[in-house]
Amino acid sequence: MGLFDRIRQGLKKTSQVLNTDVRDLFKSEGRLIDEDFLDDLRAILFKTDMGYDPTEELVAEVAKNMRGRVVHMTDVIDVLKTKLKELMAQDESPITYAASGPTVIMVCGVNGAGKTTSIAKLACMFKGQGKSVVLGAGDTFRAAAVEQLGIWADRLGVECVKGPEGSHPATVAYQAVEYALNNNIEVCIVDTAGRLQTQKNLMSELTKIRDSIRKQIPEAPHEALLVLDATTGQNGISQANNFAEAAGCTGIVLAKLDGTAKGGVVVAIRQQIGLPVKYIGFGEQHEDLVLFNPDKFVDEMFDEELGG
Is 103 among the annotated ligand-binding positions? no
Please state whether the peptide bond connecting residue 221 to the residue before it is cis, i.e. omega within 30 degrees of 0.
yes
Stretch that binds ligand GDP, among 73-81, 109-117, 165-173, 294-302 (CB under 6 A): 109-117
Find the farthest-apart pair of alpha carbons in the chain and give their distance in angstroms, rounded.
69
Q: Which amino acid is at 121?
A: K
Is residue 109 a known part of a binding site? Answer: yes
DSSP structure string for 145-210: HHHHHHHHHHHHT-EEE-PPTT--HHHHHHHHHHHHHHTT-SEEEE------TT-HHHHHHHHHHH
Size of the site for ligand GDP (CB under 6 A): 19
Amino acid at site 208:
K
The residue (of 73 and 290) whose beta carbon lies closer to ligand GDP is: 290
113 binds ligand GDP (CB under 6 A): yes
- Residue 195 annotated in ligand binding: yes
264 binding partner (options ligand GDP, Mg ion, none; Cβ < 5 to 8 Å by kind):
none
For Mg ion, the binding residues in 97-116 under the rule CB under 5 A are 115-116
What is the rounded CA–CA span in Å between residue 173 and residue 136? 6
Quote the DSSP letter at residue 258: G
In the list 133, 255, 265, 298, the residue contacting ligand GDP (rule: CB under 6 A) is 255
118 binds Mg ion (CB under 5 A): no
Q: In the bound complex, which residue of the shown chain has the CB atom lying closest to Mg ion? A: 116
Say which entry of Mg ion, ligand GDP, none residue 17 contacts (CB below 5 to 8 A, set by partner kind): none
For Mg ion, the closer of residues 21 and 139 by Cβ is 139
- Measured CA to CA, the distance from residue 198 to residue 195 in angstroms comes to 8
Q: Which residues bind ligand GDP (CB under 6 A)?
A: 109, 111-117, 194, 227, 255-256, 258-259, 281-284, 288
